Amino acid sequence: MDKEAIDSLIEKNPKLSIFRENLEAMQQGNYLIHKSWGLGRIESYDQGLGKIIINFEQDKQGHAMDPAFFVDKIEIIPEGHVIARHRNNPEEIDKMLKEDQVQLIIQILEFKKSRQASIFEIEKILLHMLGETKYKKWWNATKKLLVKDPRIGVPSKKSDPYVLRDVPITPEEEILGDFRSLNNSKKRILLAEKLFQLSTNKAELKKDLPEILETLTQSIQESSPQLSQADRLHGIWVRNDLARDIHEDVEALEPTSESIIEEMASFVNLATELPTGYHSRLLDLLLRTFPDKWINLTLSLVKEGSGKLLNDSIAFLLAQEKWDQLKEALNRWVTEQGIKSPVLLWIVKNRHSKKFEGVLSNLVTPKLLSAIFYAIDYEALQKTTNKRIPLADFLSDDRDLIPELLAEADSETALDLAQSLLSNQGFEELTKKSLLARFIRQFPIIQELVTGDSSEESRNDLFVSQSSFKTRQKEYKELVESKIPENKKAIATAREHGDLRENAEYKMAREEQATLLARKAQLEMDLQRAQITDFNDAQVDTISIGSKVKLKAGSSGKIVTYSILGAWDSEPEQHILSYKTPLGQSLLGCKKGESVEIEIDNVQETWTVNKISRWVDNK
């Protein structure tokens, strides 16, 4: 656009006068960034239409736009700006992106009038050069380089800008200046820590170290009301790190780290307030200061901790070869139901880990599921927001977890746990039904909880012989003591072979587990209902359990004899029927001389009861 066209636009719309600089920059070949359509390049100005023709990179080529309607929505890219140079000479900027990242940021800042730019402004430029997927990784790496460059002032918080300094100042000099000007003890500790982390050559700090150490020591005295005990301990460690080059025994500097913790009754709050990078240092301090009770102190951090503190505490115990103590504590907490969600989540997440097998192998039991339900319910009752419960989400997402926890359960225990689930405040109703379905696959009797229907089949006793009862008991024992444990080992072995989605051995082992657990549940239910009988109560006037019956066919006069015995006694080839079979059910209650229409040997026929006797008298 020329001066005449711009003057004409402003004359028609005086409000555009404040955008005159942008209008003058709308020249052919210049780049601009539109708030909605991104990066574009001006192709020409159509004086007849009074519109600028712009080629936007996002599929809007030759787009005609009235400058009066978009001048306030754009940012003009000057000719020498890195974005324009990247589009016109990509090799030059690409080389800088790879080899001289700091210089590229400097050139971005040089094009700002104030020689400073917000994080958002820099990221927007990088996005146009590197794209969505690459710019974040590049920017995170570059920020670490900027911190150490004396030419650039790095913001202490996100709302502050990056500044290109007129006079370069080393990061150490900048931090020292802030350190000396501040009266806030906590901020001084953080600045001293930053100074230690930044300084690659401690010799350069030696002349300033006495002053820094004296100021830090004053800051961490008991008299400072700004600091908690965790702040003081943090300050002592920062001071000691800085002092190592000029003191032979930094641990002797007063106050000492031991003096902070010696009188403390609990270390959970202290550990929680410390920066996470100092957890291992605290654990080592507990070991040195309390040689007789450090194990119990560390276990208390496991029990009450979460996140990195929990993981660091467990790792420290194991590094000191205290496997047995950790195992005993976890088992005790599970049994007492005195175990919190973070620890339970760690257990179930690591239950298949070879590293923790010695500690967790005996924990995957129904007791653990009971502890999980208790912890979830407790957390749900305590929380005041809609924040989700991680342990509840994990239990829902891991479809193998409930079957594994129920593998050693009997039907009564499973029923109690299912009832605990139904009353739990930590699950939505749909989630409860989904979890309950996993119970039902192993324990069909629990279906009653869902439907509210207790069928006659599940209520009535089963009348069985002593020999058949012993056979079922033997089968149950073999399942529990042999087949299910062997299957559990097979699953663990198959899991080690890799991707479970493509692991045929794992799938087969899991299918076998489902079959074994279903049979176990059925046997438990049957054995619980079973009533052993010796059939001595059988009568001779009415067919009952324990009767021997002679039947005569009405058409052919054929005679057959059956013994009606217990639920598990069927031997059709020996003419022994279970009273639960259709034929047995048809005959029960019949008297001598009565007829029934039943199918025998695949022939539907009317049969008359010819004789009734007791099986025990004829066996």
Confidence at residue 459, expressed as pLDDT on a 0 to 100 scale? 47
364 residue type, one letter: V
> Are 65 and 30 part of one and the same domain?
yes
Q: Would residue 129 count as lying in a domain? A: no
Of all residues in the chain, the percent with pLDDT exceeding 90 is 41
- Average pLDDT score over the chain: 87
- 144: tokens are 């670490």
For residue 330, the tally of other CB atoms under 10 A from its CB is 24
> Are 508 and 577 part of one and the same domain?
no
> Are 290 and 354 part of one and the same domain?
yes
Q: Would residue 105 count as lying in a domain? A: no
> Are 484 and 526 part of one and the same domain?
yes
Say if residues 532 and 471 touch (Cβ distance below 8 Å). no
> Are 359 and 270 part of one and the same domain?
yes
Grade residue 174 by pLDDT with cuts at 50, 70 and 90.
confident
**What digits encode the pLDDT tens for the residues 395-420?**
999 999 999 999 888 888 888 899 89
**What digits encode the pLDDT tens for the residues 260-306?**
898 777 799 999 999 999 999 999 999 999 999 999 999 999 999 99
**What digits encode the pLDDT tens for the residues 308-367?**
999 999 999 999 999 999 999 999 999 988 789 999 999 999 998 888 988 998 899 999
> Are 527 and 578 part of one and the same domain?
no
Say if residues 348 and 392 touch (Cβ distance below 8 Å). no
Q: Would residue 340 count as lying in a domain? A: yes
CATH at 521: 1.10.287.180
Say if residues 376 and 417 touch (Cβ distance below 8 Å). no
Q: Would residue 474 count as lying in a domain? A: yes
Say if residues 349 and 393 touch (Cβ distance below 8 Å). no
Please determine, for residue 156, whether its predicted confidence score (pLDDT) is greater than 70.
yes
> Are 527 and 601 part of one and the same domain?
no
Give the phi and the psi of residue 152 in degrees, each rounded to 5: -125, 130
Q: Would residue 389 count as lying in a domain? A: no
Q: Would residue 593 count as lying in a domain? A: yes
Confidence at residue 465, expressed as pLDDT on a 0 to 100 scale? 93
Confidence at residue 456, expressed as pLDDT on a 0 to 100 scale? 46
188 residue type, one letter: R
3-state secondary structure (DSSP) of residue 61: strand
3-state secondary structure (DSSP) of residue 612: strand
Range of the domain at 284: 264-363
Annotate 370-429 with DSSP letters as a single string.
HHHHHHHHHHHHH--S----HHHHHHHH-TTHHHHHTTT--HHHHHHHHHHHHT-TTS-H
Annotate 139-178 with DSSP letters as a single string.
HHHHHHHHHT-TTEEPPSSTTSPEEE-SS---HHHHHHHH
Residue 342 burial class via C-beta count within 10 angstroms: exposed 0-12, middle 13-18, buried 19 and up: buried
Boundary residue ending a domain (36, 51, 77)? 77
Grade residue 137 by pLDDT with cuts at 50, 70 and 90.
very high
Boundary residue ending a domain (334, 363, 392)? 363
d(CA 485, CA 147): 58
> Are 569 and 607 part of one and the same domain?
yes
Return the bridge partners of 596, or none. Answer: 607
Residue 290: alpha-carbon gap to chain centroid: 35
> Are 523 and 559 part of one and the same domain?
no
CATH at 7: 2.30.30
> Are 553 and 527 part of one and the same domain?
no
pTM: 0.61
Return the bridge partners of 560, or none. Answer: 551
> Are 523 and 553 part of one and the same domain?
no
Q: Would residue 359 count as lying in a domain? A: yes
- 478: tokens are 């073999």
Say if residues 544 and 616 touch (Cβ distance below 8 Å). no
Q: Which of 541, 559, 542 is nearest to 551 (CA)?
A: 559
- How many independent structural domains does the chain possess? 4
> Are 357 and 274 part of one and the same domain?
yes
Q: Would residue 14 count as lying in a domain? A: yes
Q: Count Cβ neighbours within 10 Å for each residue of 188-198 and write b for 16 or more, e otherwise.
A: bbbbbbbbbee
Helix (H) or strand (E) holding 359: helix 357-360
Boundary residue ending a domain (336, 363, 390)? 363
CATH at 559: 3.10.50.30
Confidence at residue 108, expressed as pLDDT on a 0 to 100 scale? 92
